[in-house]
Amino acid sequence: MDKNEFFHSLEEIVVGPLFIGESLQDLAEETTNNTWSISISKELATEILLEDFIDFFQRVMTNRREQISSSNNRDGMLFYIWFDWQSAQIKFNLISDYDTALPFGCEIEITNKLEPIIEEFLRFPYHDGFPFEEVREDDEQMEEGVEGETLKVFLFKINR
């Protein structure tokens, strides 16, 4: 699969329906229904440019903005993107903006720049899997109590 075929395969994400809850009680359902994950091969990562993903996410945000504008949601939604190195995936989600913390169980660093997250994803050396030796080293560090890095999260509020 080349990069054009890859981005064509993501078109269903661009136009996918958004679940918009009606109250804070729907936040978990929003999190579940509005999370998307993208994986690539190491070979494809060398072919894709930063601008390709910027364009993709701009198209996703435009679609979500249109869906939010035509909804009954009064609060707007939080659109956030992060690189999950454990799964070698770039992920993104939308949840209603109820002045709640983002649903992460780790320390996060909010950024308004998408480029560093995409660059980290594209440069990641293990898109095709982790070598066994590296997994063992990570396990040993976890046993020794070494803390993980802070997760960078791109955050953008889409107003109604």
Q: Take residue 75 and report the two structure tokens written for it.
A: 């609060």
The Cα 56–Cα 64 span in angstroms is 12
Model pLDDT for residues 68-104, shown as the tens digit of each residue: 999 887 788 999 999 999 999 999 999 999 877 888 8
Model pLDDT for residues 94-106, shown as the tens digit of each residue: 999 987 788 888 9
Q: Take residue 121 and report the two structure tokens written for it.
A: 């994803």
| Domain encompassing residue 151 | 3-158
Q: Take residue 41 and report the two structure tokens written for it.
A: 């091969």
Asked if residue 44 lies in contact with residue 6, where contact means CB atoms within 8 angstroms, the answer is yes
AA letter at 141: Q
Model pLDDT for residues 8-65, shown as the tens digit of each residue: 999 999 999 999 998 889 989 999 999 999 999 999 999 999 999 999 999 999 999 9
Q: Which residues neighbour 35 within 8 Å (Cβ) at sequence distance 6 or greater? A: 91, 92, 93
Specify the number of domains making up the chain: 1
The Cα 155–Cα 147 span in angstroms is 24
